[in-house]
Amino acid sequence: MNMQTTPRLTAAETALVEAFGAQIGELPGNGAVIGTRDRLLDDLKKAGLPTRRIESWHYTDLKTLLRAIPDAVPSAVIDPLSPIVEGSAVLSVLDGIADIKATADGIELSLFKEKLADGSALAGLTALDKDDAIGRINGSFVRDGFALVVPAGAEIAEPVELQALHGAGQIHTRFPASFGARSKATIIERHRAVMEGAAFVSSISDIALEDGAEITWIILQQQGAADTHLGQIRAKLGTNAKLRLFVVNAGGKLVRQELRIDVQGEGAELTLRGVNLLGGDTHTDVTLVLGHNVPHTNSTEIIRNVVFDKANGVFQGMIRVAPDAQKTDAKMACNTLLLSDDGGFSVKPELEIFADDVICGHGATVSDIDRNHLFYLMARGVPENKARAMLVNAFVAEIVEELEDEKLVEALEGVISAWLEKHA
């Protein structure tokens, strides 16, 4: 007798299935979208949450680490915050619901729930591969967000802040953004808990840069101490496009940030910089999959990590160079200050190179504060705790200063300094 067994679900997996059943009647979407949601949730149920047996999740066993999903609670009363950079346009998503009155000069803006309702969002509701748990979760549950279109040739003078604020419960957002040829803009994607209580958050940003676009996209993650944050960037770069992507993780209990980037046009450049500030007993994972698919493209990736207490971090960086991608120049580095005997950081850089005329390399370091530098400051009258804080701040500030925009640098340095004062 051929008998099929249904995989046993964990408490978190069961909660996701039950939450979907309870919410499906009120999730926005036409018939095709609802059918896609149902298939994504069914695939998640069959596959389960990823475990360490899956190579790309080896250091973040989500099935084990994600022990519970908070209940979906009624929307809290949340007010927008002042933008992190003065003068920025603010597009608020409060407890997962976008502000219908939001505007940003020079940008064509629409609510993502409207695109779900008319089915135009259907093409983006996909899992990128069989192990894309974030794509399945977000596609199943996403309610709202903003869709941005920057017209060809437009230059958006001030930053635009996508301000995703929430209380407790379940929050799922989406930010598709299209940047026309030769357009320029700075987008700050800011995720922050503003109330007590555990939250389960997923967010996906789909970014498309047409030929010659020059875009700075900053992810600032400041979730609460009990929150789970599953984030994903999907980016495609056209000919001569330039994407500067900055990721700052300064919060959350369990965090996975995936960066899925395809360089599709000759002359395109990617600059990735990351700062991971880890304290308490948090677990933060940044996973990059970067495809150089055509000749004459460049990328540099530098990740800086600071680990206190019992925190653990992960950086996985996969660079794939296609057979036709001759003259690729790709360099990746991950540097960690490990400031606790109880903390840890795992680094897994990978190169898959199928072209023979390329310059590619990677490196990783793990260390404590340089004792000579500490002695230098203390010998000049700086107390040890302040000297240590200064050195740690300098270690990560070097990355932020590459933004060159004075107001933006000052704002992010303020976030970093405030976090270090609290945890150092």
* Average pLDDT, integer, range 212-232: 97
Domain that residue 220 falls in: 11-265
Residues 20 and 139 in one domain: yes
Q: How far apart, in whole angstroms, are the C-alpha atoms of residue 102 and residue 116?
A: 19
**Is 290 a domain residue?**
no
Residues 229 and 92 in one domain: yes
Whether the pLDDT of residue 60 is over 50: the answer is yes
* pLDDT given for residue 381 in this prediction: 84
How many Cβ atoms are within 10 Å of 18's Cβ, its own excluded?
Answer: 13
**Is 308 a domain residue?**
no
Residues 180 and 57 in one domain: yes
Q: How far apart, in whole angstroms, are the C-alpha atoms of residue 220 and residue 192?
A: 8
Task: Please give the single-letter amino acid code of residue 235.
Answer: A
* Average pLDDT, integer, range 86-115: 96
Residues 93 and 239 in one domain: yes
Which one of 218, 245, 265 terminates a domain?
A: 265
Whether the pLDDT of residue 5 is over 60: the answer is no
Q: How far apart, in whole angstroms, are the C-alpha atoms of residue 313 and residue 417?
A: 20
Whether the pLDDT of residue 123 is over 60: the answer is yes
For residue range 384-405, list pLDDT tens digits in order. 788 888 888 889 989 999 998 9
* Average pLDDT, integer, range 303-326: 97
For the packed helices 371-379 and 384-400, what is the interaxial angle rounded to 10 degrees? Answer: 120
Whether the pLDDT of residue 191 is over 60: the answer is yes
**Is 189 a domain residue?**
yes
**Is 116 a domain residue?**
yes
- φ/ψ of 234, rounded to 5, equals -115, 115
- Taking all residues of the chain, what is their mean pLDDT, rounded to a whole number? 94
Residues 376 and 261 in one domain: no
Residues 240 and 377 in one domain: no
- φ/ψ of 182, rounded to 5, equals 65, 15
**Is 345 a domain residue?**
no
**Is 270 a domain residue?**
no
- At residue 6 the predicted structure's pLDDT band, cuts being 50, 70 and 90, is low
CA distances to 48, 71, 144, 203, 289 from 18, rounded to whole Å, are 14, 10, 21, 20, 32
For residue range 340-380, list pLDDT tens digits in order. 999 999 999 999 999 999 999 999 998 888 788 877 788 88
Residues 215 and 78 in one domain: yes
List strand residue ranges (DSSP E) for 95-249, in order: 97-98, 108-111, 144-150, 160-166, 169-179, 184-193, 199-209, 214-222, 228-237, 242-249
**Is 176 a domain residue?**
yes
Q: How far apart, in whole angstroms, are the C-alpha atoms of residue 110 and residue 100?
A: 9
Q: How far apart, in whole angstroms, are the C-alpha atoms of residue 32 and residue 13?
A: 24
Residues 58 and 174 in one domain: yes
| pLDDT above 70 coverage of the chain, percent | 98
For residue range 126-137, list pLDDT tens digits in order. 999 999 999 999
Q: Residue 419 CA to chain centroid, in angstroms?
A: 19
Whether the pLDDT of residue 145 is over 60: the answer is yes
For residue range 253-281, list pLDDT tens digits in order. 999 999 999 999 999 999 999 999 999 99
Q: Whole-prediction pTM value? A: 0.95
Residues 258 and 374 in one domain: no
* Average pLDDT, integer, range 322-342: 95
Residues 247 and 379 in one domain: no
Q: Which of the pair, 3 or 183, is modelled with greater confidence? A: 183
Domain total in the chain:
2
Whether the pLDDT of residue 1 is over 80: the answer is no
**Is 338 a domain residue?**
no
Classify 352 as helix, strand or coil.
strand
- For residues 242 and 217, is the Cβ–Cβ distance under 8 A? no
Each residue of 144-171: b (16+ CB within 10 Å) or e? bbbbbbbeeebebebbbbbbbbbbbbbb
- At residue 28 the predicted structure's pLDDT band, cuts being 50, 70 and 90, is very high
Residues 257 and 394 in one domain: no
| DSSP 8-state symbol, 30 | -
Which one of 265, 297, 332 terminates a domain?
A: 265
Residues 26 and 170 in one domain: yes
Which one of 265, 281, 304 terminates a domain?
A: 265
